[in-house]
A and B are shown apart, each in its own frame.
Chain A
Amino acid sequence: MALLELRNVSKIYHLGGEEIRALDDVSLDLGNGEFVSIIGPSGSGKSTLMHILGCLDTPSKGSVKLDGTEIASASQRELARIRNRTIGFVFQFFNLLPKLNVVQNVELPMIYAGLNSRERRERALQALDLVELGNRLKNRPSQLSGGQQQRVAIARALVNNPKIILADEPTGNLDTHTGELILALFRKLAAEGRTVILVTHNPEIAAVTPRRIEIRNGRIADNVDRKLAGLDRIVPNAAPAVAPA
């Protein structure tokens, strides 16, 4: 059984009588431990798909099963619990809380998981060590570079040990070099057996993932655009653009 099963999922927005099908009859299986990129042109529905995969949103039609549990009919409370325990998010704009320092930001998901402060501190330090930020604990996000902020966000995504890491344009706001470092982190997580799903415009990133899903007009494209997927740059099965960390 796949970790995530989408069956005939549609997301329909109504704007002044007009119907926008952000997702249109999407069916998709994602296995445990898969490293996947979701690509497609702007406005095609990538973020919408990611919101549904991440239990931030429920579909208008169709069924979404995570580990066999139906999401489409889950309550807000259940969705919050799944987001807390099973999913880690990384966003394009980092989305750290500006008034909290690095450790406090990383501790945030554990507060809602009900962990005590000693345990929270311990696990936050572990996660921050993993992203090599163990020395910036007391800094505010505004005192960090973009790449450092994104690493804090990754530490926060990891800290509740989720099965799935979802990232929406995680390198979109970073320069190439920093982006590569971040990407290396994701590859490491994937190598550890976590399910990693990256939404990206960046062909270089798409090129790294073993599986690519292209969305066009809210539907899954039958064949992947080679240019968008970065396949024109590399020979299949060649060495990845970025060396594993």
Chain B
Amino acid sequence: MNFVNAVGVGLKEIQAHPLRSLLTLFGILLGVSALVAMSAIIAGNERGLKEGLTAIGGLQKVRIEAQPVPIEQRHLRDFATGVTIQDVRALAAGVPEIQELAPHIRLDIPPVLSANGKSSRTWMTAGCLPQQLELMEHVVGHGRMFTALDNEQARSVCVIGTGIRDELWGKPTDDGEEIIPVDQMIAINGQPFKVIGMFQHYEGEQDRKARELARAERLAQRAAGATNTLDGPKRSRGWGGGGGRRGNFSYWIKNNTVYLPLETMRQQFILGDTNANPNRITVIEAKIRDVEKLDTALTQIRNVLMITHRGIEDFAFRTQEDWADRIQDTMKNARISGGLIAGISLFVGGIGIMNIMLASISERIREIGIRKAVGAAGPDIFIQIIVESVVIAGLGGLSGLAASNAMVWVISQLTPTENAPIITWPAMAVAFGFSVLIGIVAGLFPAIKAARMNVIQALRYD
């Protein structure tokens, strides 16, 4: 008997018992859709977390900041300078692995920003150099970033994030009309500054889509409302970081950033303070040329800083490695638990198939006897039963794939965040492969049993 015939016989058998086959199929359907949906959700989470990681500069970024002098160096405490402008120069000269250096100064107390009759405090107000823009993956949406000249001359200019604009000037309207406060004045701790630029609005892929979708819907509603007076009042929901769903924390931070030139920051807010070290920098962000050489770069940075700090270890490095590792760990755990759940449901589905196949062959003993009497050999019967089981499992697998796609679609409609699930081809292939494998394994025992059946006993059976 050839394979096509065997598949035909299997399909006919399934057709003959539609309800039973459907119920059996359902077990596999659940398992496969659990597997695919689970992996889609995990993949979505992973993308969300990684998106957050790249939004703050990714693995290439090293953050150098001051830390208390270690205990064994306590006696040198008074010589500790913290991170300074001199460090920046030394690093620029002495560490070839560094591609970009961006020192910035933040005030110990978040400054008060006021404009348009409103005020707000933001902790993300920093004095920095123009290259900070690139290093922190900022993009100026309106106006311009300050230049090296602005910095040298310590001009009172600043660039703000859309979150600040939302707070002080108001959010964009539902139609996408927004206020662009470029050339407006803003007071920082009472000192007048000119807003010369505003960053673009940062949001995850999914947030953007959700916002566009909502907008399209509103427009459609409004178009309908022109002729339909029953249209109710519209609800206003902006998309700023402050209101409603906060989205990814990384984006929220970026949207609430204010940059002013480093020199301006020093001259206006630091130099007047007699307690402060005038050269002190809060953080140096360094971008490494090559992630692979992170360790080498860190050693080089340490060596240089040990010289400028005269051996006092009052500085520390922060990389995103911990974050990346945490993402990996979280993903691994999610995969294991998700895989376990899907595995169990597939296993249960497999037992269901085996059960049905056993029931099916015991009610077909006579049929098997007849087939053998007219010339079916053991292997023919074996193939027939295996094919039946694989066809049921395979159909279950296919409908499971369909179901998981539907499920994932529903999930992504309900929770349009950057963590929206992603169905991948490998996940579908693996899940389908598993369903076929389960069909084979579950069919094995019934098939062997049927193939070994004694002809005469089978013929007599009723």
In this complex, the member of B2, B13, B366, B376 whose beta carbon has the largest number of chain A beta carbons within 10 angstroms is B376
Least distance between A24 CB and chain B CB atoms (Å):
19
Closest to A47 in B: B456
B230 within 8 A of A: no
| Contact count band on A | 20 to 34
Known A99-B12, A111-B1, A114-B1: A84·B456 in contact at CB below 8 Å: no
B374 and A108 within 8 A (CB): yes
Closest chain B CB from A160 CB (angstroms): 8
Among A38-46, A73-81, A186-194, A230-238, the stretch that binds chain B is A73-81
Q: A83, B456: Cβ atoms under 8 Å? A: no
Q: A111 vs B5: C-alpha distance in the bound complex, in angstroms?
A: 8
| Interface check A56, CB cutoff 8 A | yes
Q: How far is the CA of A113 from the CA of B1 in the complex (A)?
A: 7
Q: What is the CA–CA distance of A160 and B374 in the complex, to the nearest angstrom?
A: 10
CA A114 – CA B3 in complex, angstroms? 10
B367 in contact with A97 (CB, 8 Å): yes
Contacts of B16 in A (CB 8 A): 99
Residue of B nearest to A159 (CB): B374
Residue in B12, B371, B378 whose beta carbon sits within 8 Å of that of A108 in the complex: B371
Q: Are A112 and B378 in contact (CB under 8 A)?
A: no
Contact A112 B376 (CB under 8 A): yes
Interface of chain A residues 36 through 93 with chain B (CB within 8 A) = 51, 56-57, 76-77, 80-81, 83-85, 89, 91
Cross-chain contact A95 with B456 (CB below 8 angstroms)? no
- Evaluate whether A95 and B5 lie within 8 angstroms (CB atoms) in the complex, with A77-B377, A80-B376 already known: no
* Complex contact A112–B374 (CB within 8 A): yes
Known: A56-B455, A77-B378. A112 touches B1 (CB 8 A): yes
List B contacts of A100 (CB < 8 A).
Answer: 12
Q: CA–CA, A236 to B156, complex, Å?
A: 134
Asked if B376 contacts A95 (CB within 8 A), the reply is no
Query: How long is the Cα–Cα vector from A91 to B370 in the complex, in angstroms?
Result: 10
The residue on A at minimum CB distance from B367 is A97
Residue of B with least CB distance to A160: B375
A147 is an interface residue with CB less than 8 A from chain B:
no
Q: Which of A83, A91, A97 touches B375 (beta carbons < 8 Å)?
A: A83
Contacts of A97 in B (CB 8 A): 367, 370-371
For chain B, the count of residues having a C-beta within 8 Å of the partner chain is 23
| B377–A95 touching, CB < 8 Å | no
Listed by A's residue number, 5 A-B pairs whose Cβ atoms lie within 8 Å are A76-B377, A77-B378, A83-B375, A84-B374, A97-B370
Q: State whether the Cβ of A151 lies closer than 8 Å to any Cβ in chain B.
A: no
Partner of A84, one of B5, B12, B369, B375: B375
A109 at the interface (CB under 8 A from B): yes
Closest 8 CB pairs of A and B: A84-B375, A80-B377, A112-B375, A109-B374, A77-B377, A95-B370, A112-B376, A56-B455
Per-residue CB contact flags for chain B residues 375-386 toward chain A (1 = under 8 Å, else 0) read 111111000000
Measured between C-beta atoms, what is the minimum distance from A129 to chain B in Å? 20
Q: Give the CA-CA distance A92 to B303 in the complex, in Å.
A: 99
The smallest beta-carbon distance between A123 and chain B, in angstroms, is: 14
Query: Which residues does chain A contribute within 8 Å of B13, judged by CB atoms?
Result: 99
Known: A97-B367, A99-B16. Contact between A80 and B459, CB under 8 A? no
* Contact A112:B373 (CB < 8 A) given known A56-B456, A95-B459, A97-B367: no
Q: Smallest CB-CB separation from A85: which chain B residue?
A: B375
Chain A residues contacting B367 (CB-CB under 8 Å) are 97
Residue A219 CB within 8 A of the other chain: no
User: Is residue B155 within 8 Å, beta carbon to beta carbon, of the partner chain?
Assistant: no
Task: Tell me if B's interface is mostly helix, strand, loop or mixed.
Answer: helix
CA distance A85 to B377 in the complex (A): 12
Asked if B373 and A95 make an inter-chain contact with CB atoms under 8 angstroms apart, the answer reads yes
A201, CB-defined interface residue at 8 Å: no
Interface flag for B266 (CB, 8 Å): no
* CB-nearest residue of chain A to B371: A108
Contacts A56-B455, A95-B459, A114-B2 given; indicate if A156 touches B374 (C-beta within 8 A).
Answer: yes
B165 at the interface (CB under 8 A from A): no
Q: How far is the CB of A92 from chain B (nearest CB, A)?
A: 11
Interface residue B106 (Cβ < 8 Å from any Cβ of A)? no
Contact of B380 among A56, A57, A83, A112 (CB under 8 A): A112
Q: Are A81 and B377 in contact (CB under 8 A)?
A: yes
**B372 is an interface residue with CB less than 8 A from chain A:** yes
**Nearest CB to that of B2 among chain A residues?**
A114
Proximity string of chain B (1-40) to chain A, C-beta cutoff 8 Å, 1 when within and 0 when not: 1100100000011001000000000000000000000000
Determine the residue in chain B with the shortest Cβ distance to A88: B374
CB distance from B385 to the nearest CB of A (A): 15
Q: Chain A contacts of B376 at CB under 8 A? A: 80, 84, 112
Q: Which of B370, B371, B375, B455 contacts A113 (CB 8 A)?
A: B375
Enumerate B262-305 residues with CB–CB distance to A below 8 Å: none
B370 and chain A: residue at smallest CB distance: A95
| Residues of the B chain whose Cβ atoms lie less than 8 Å from the Cβ of A96 | 370
Please, how many angstroms separate the alpha-carbon atoms of A80 and B16 in the complex? Answer: 27
A201 to B304, CA, bound (A): 111
Complex CA distance for A77 and B455, rounded to whole angstroms: 12
**Which residues of A in the span 92-134 have a Cβ within 8 Å of any Cβ on B?**
95-97, 99-100, 108-109, 111-114
Chain A residue nearest to B459 in the complex (CB): A95
Residues of B within 8 A of A95 (CB): 366, 369-370, 373, 459
Distance of A85 Cα from B376 Cα, bound (Å): 11
